[in-house]
Chains A and B, each alone.
Chain A
Amino acid sequence: MSGPEAEFTDTRLLGSRAGTQSWIVTVINKVLPSVAAALSDVHDGATVMIGGFGGAGLPVALVDGLIGQGARDLTIVANNAGNGELGIAALLKAGRVRKVICSFPRQTDSYIFDALYRAGQIELELVPQGNLAERIRAAGAGIGGFFTRVGFGTDLARGKEVREINGEMYVFETPIYADFALIKAERGDRWGNLTYRKSARNFGPAMAMAGAVTVAEVRELVPLGGIDPEAVITPGIFVQRVVRVAQEAVVR
């Protein structure tokens, strides 16, 4: 194994059973020791999904980590384009973002995005929120696109393929893929199973499916079985990396 996959095997647990040298036990361990380790391979030009609806579900520690990591020329896929000076706004202010794909960039205090947009220094692809969620879901579900009535006849569907289905006009929308998906969850285990908290769930599950590499910051790490299987919201197959982030660091 090489590359990031190598990190998934916790070498502390690689070893031999007492008295034998031949039986090597390996376990899946997607838990990484730090945000920096989880984001070390984000490359310039990457498409990065960032979960959250405003501040609810925003993976603040991962976004801060991305700023520190230094990748630039990024395409960000998120519902909002940041507000105030923190989170996505700070990433924009640091000049790391070439393009934003989102549904609602305008906030009362989205002045950093607003200024970049008016100065022509950032590209915006505005997408109706449900189309955004479904395009992300499509990427994560292996769907090559879908027809929707949403947006038909509006500026946001201009130039897109249309089709009449059951007497109504539909617009063809394509998947949005991502190299990395950064999401926030409440509880996770070393297999990457996740639960969320209240309305902070929002884009997390769909983005987890769509990211080639999905990194989840979790408030609490539990042993396998610590999450009721009936209650798992995102099964671990969709998650490649888990980092525990203390609550204090998230809410500030």
Chain B
Amino acid sequence: MTRVAESTAWRKRTRDEIAARLAEDIFEGAYVNLGIGMPTLVANHVPTGREIVLQSENGLLGMGPPPAPGEEDLALVNAGKQPVTLLPGGAYFDSADSFAMMRAGHLDIAVLGAFQVSESGDLANWHTGRPGDIPAVGGAMDLAVGAKHTWVMMEHFTHDGACKLVSRCDYPLTGLRCVNRVYTDLAVLDVTVGGFVLRDAVGGLDAESLSQLSGVAIAPPHR
């Protein structure tokens, strides 16, 4: 376990800043599924004028923002079962069709939270594995392996200071070799056949220092 020093030369990105950084990379016209939790913040940061289509696993394409107070509809909810709206051009469909579009790569990008991501792209995000914890998987395994691009958005370290980028996941796996890119509060990394490759990091960190902090090999950006 790598401990994070209390005083550092760099400043972590806030959750909104991670979301904004990720949103920059979502291309015009992309069909995107934002997982529950931190990934939902991405919707607030899509650059003005860039049109993307949000998919929700429970049967929505063209999902819009939450409704105004008093306008909630129990039949129109997102994957977290919170009230949402549907944008003009949106569509409703059933669960089998929803997961067909996910599984067969019709969906361009899935953004997921994670407990751990390994250097081979293995993802652990559905179960702590602790006895007594109720296991629940929902659409996590389907999303992880289905989309053309699986991006993870997470804190770099746990509250206990353990790095969530690992050489091998010790939490139960969600999918094998499925993560393409990781957005953390310290850096953006590609997951390649050769392991983690840095794309960019917050000021004051480079591949070498980040690798030391993280306890896993991180190659410098390809130029």
Residues of A within 8 A of B (CB): 53-57, 79, 103-106, 110, 113-114, 117-118, 124, 126-134, 136-137, 148-156, 196-206, 233, 251
B173 and A202 contacting across the interface, CB-CB below 8 Å? no
Docked Cα-Cα span, A103 to B96, in Å, equals: 14
A154 adjacent to B136 (CB under 8 Å): no
Taking a contact as CB atoms under 8 Å apart, the answer to whether A56 and B77 are in contact is yes
Cβ B94 vs Cβ A126 within 8 A? no
Cross-chain pairs A/B with CB under 8 angstroms, 17 sampled? A53-B59, A118-B132, A118-B134, A126-B135, A128-B139, A129-B137, A130-B139, A149-B146, A150-B146, A154-B175, A198-B76, A199-B58, A199-B59, A199-B60, A202-B94, A202-B95, A206-B96
Is A128 a contact partner of B141 (Cβ separation < 8 A)?
A: yes
User: Beyond A53-B58, A153-B173, is A204–B94 a contact (Cβ under 8 Å)?
Assistant: yes
Give B contacts to A, CB under 8 Å: 56-60, 73-77, 81, 86, 92-96, 98-100, 102-103, 127, 132, 134-142, 145-146, 172-176
- On whether the beta carbons of A129 and B94 are closer than 8 Å, the reply is no
Smallest CB-CB separation from A138: which chain B residue?
Answer: B96
CB distance from B213 to the nearest CB of A (A): 29
Residues of chain A with a CB closer than 8 A to B96's CB? 133-134, 136-137, 205-206
A184 and B6 alpha carbons, distance in the complex (Å): 55
Please measure, in the bound complex, the distance between the C-alpha atom of A200 and the C-alpha atom of B137, giving whole angstroms: 20
Among B59, B92, B135, residue most surrounded by chain A Cβ atoms (within 10 Å): B59
A199 and B92 contact, Cβ closer than 8 Å, known pairs A118-B132, A133-B98, A134-B99: yes
- Identify which of A106, A149, A202 contacts B134 (C-beta below 8 A): A106
Q: How far is the CA of A126 from the CA of B127 in the complex (A)?
A: 12
A231 CB → nearest B CB, Å: 12
**Assuming A129-B99, A133-B96, A133-B98, is B141 touching A202 (CB within 8 A)?**
no
In the bound complex, do residue A150 and residue B173 qualify as a contact, i.e. CB atoms below 8 Å apart? no
Q: Are A114 and B95 in contact (CB under 8 A)?
A: no
Q: Would you give the shortest CB distance from B43 to chain A, in whole angstroms?
A: 17
**Cα–Cα distance between A138 and B102 once the two chains are bound (Å):** 17
Residues of B within 8 A of A204 (CB): 94
